[in-house]
Amino acid sequence: MLFNVQHFCLHDGPGIRTTVFLKGCGLRCLWCCNPESQEPYAQLGLDQRRCTGCGECVAACPAGAVAMNTLGKAEIDRERCTNCGKCVSACLDDALTRYGTTRTVEDVFSEVLRDKRWYCAEGGVTVSGGEPLTQARFVKRLLELSREAGIGTCIETCGAASSEALSDMLPLLDFVLFDLKHMDAQAHHQLTHRPNQVILKNARLVAQSGVPVQFRMPLIPGRNDGSENLRATAQFLRENLGTRASIELMPYHRLAAGKYEALGCDYRLKDLPAAAPECIRSAQRTLEQHGVRCAISV
């Protein structure tokens, strides 16, 4: 179950890459910038700003889940909606989107293979999400096919998955992107609805595997940008990577607000301002003062 395949990506691992985004994730991060990735099934998105009230979606819906509101805009009854996508096909204004498509690994690999001429020595395929390890069998086979074709391989993981599945995947990987959210277990649970013990175990597993890894951290104002958490993050990285310790900070932004609205979901950080430049630089300085190389995501 995928929600996107993105081509010519420059920030999802080394070189030029094709990024395959899988649906399904065990975390519910307050700041998640891809809310359409969380559930492991197809979902319907509605952008009412695009809707002109033509009513074609109402007629097309077999479950009677779409109706026009008093403003002449389409509305979705999420409890009745089966996410069949028939309203999406009928929409004349591109106001409706179906997030999620079931595809075979061979089909996805053929799309990755078409981009091979752009990868050169460093690039390749990155499997992201959601959490790609929730669909471990699919990912493993895609990595195997890519390796056989001489295509570089990478996964982007939050580590909230089976250690056995991750161990099984590591021999097939040329690079790992690993997101760390918070070092304190209780704070991590409050921010993501999951504790971090398994995540930190998997982070150590990757660090000790010999596979090149770039740890990253979403920098969320007032949530994980405090000096105590930054120091703990630096200590963890130094303990597991030594002089190779590095991290990439991904400053919080509010660009996902429209996706939450389209999905009918509550964006719990909708009033939180984007990370200020001085706060970003301060976090970078703290990490570097504690022996960790630190880059800022663009």
pLDDT over 90 (residue 199): yes
Q: Determine the Cα–Cα distance for residues 170 and 114; give it in Å rounded to an integer.
A: 25
What's the chain's Rg over C-alpha atoms? 20
Homologous superfamily, domain 2-39+101-296: Aldolase class I (3.20.20.70)
CA 243 vs CA 80, 102, 239: distances in Å: 55, 43, 9
Nearest to 21 by CA among 146, 138, 178, 122: 138
- pLDDT bucket at 191, cuts 50 / 70 / 90: very high
- pLDDT bucket at 41, cuts 50 / 70 / 90: very high
Q: Cα-flanking dihedrals φ and ψ of residue 121, to 5°?
A: -80, -35
pLDDT number for residue 95: 96
- Of the chain, the percentage scoring pLDDT greater than 90 comes to 98
Q: Determine the Cα–Cα distance for residues 128 and 49; give it in Å rounded to an integer.
A: 29
Residue located via tokens 């992201």: 128
- pLDDT bucket at 62, cuts 50 / 70 / 90: very high
The one-letter code for the residue type at 241 is L
Domain spans of the chain, in order of start: 2-39+101-296, 43-98
Longest CA pairwise span in the chain (Å):
63
In b/e form, how buried is each residue of 28-50, taking b as 16+ CB within 10 angstroms?
Answer: ebbbbebbbbbbeebbbbbbeee
Q: Which runs of consecutive H residues, i.e. helices, occur in 84-184?
A: 86-90, 105-114, 116-119, 136-148, 163-169
Question: DSSP strand E in 42-144: where?
Answer: 43-46, 66-68, 74-76, 96-99, 124-128
- pLDDT bucket at 298, cuts 50 / 70 / 90: confident
pLDDT number for residue 115: 97
- pLDDT bucket at 16, cuts 50 / 70 / 90: very high
Both tokens assigned to 162: 């089976």
- pLDDT bucket at 247, cuts 50 / 70 / 90: very high
Instruction: State the DSSP H helix or E strand holding residue 236, giving kind and residue range, or none if neither.
Output: helix 227-241
pLDDT number for residue 238: 97
43-98, CATH topology level = Alpha-Beta Plaits (3.30.70)
Tens digit of each residue's pLDDT (9 = 90 or more) over 102-161: 999 999 999 999 999 999 999 999 999 999 999 999 999 999 999 999 999 999 999 999
Question: DSSP strand E in 184-261: where?
Answer: 213-219, 246-251
pLDDT number for residue 216: 98
**Number of Cβ atoms within 10 Å of the Cβ of 224:** 23
Tens digit of each residue's pLDDT (9 = 90 or more) over 213-226: 999 999 999 999 99
pLDDT number for residue 136: 97
Is there a common fold for 2-39+101-296 and 43-98?
Answer: no
CA 198 vs CA 27, 134, 158, 229: distances in Å: 12, 14, 10, 18
- The β-bridge partners of 124 are 17, 152
Pair 275, 252: CB distance under 8 Å: yes
pLDDT over 90 (residue 63): yes
Q: What is the pTM of this model?
A: 0.93
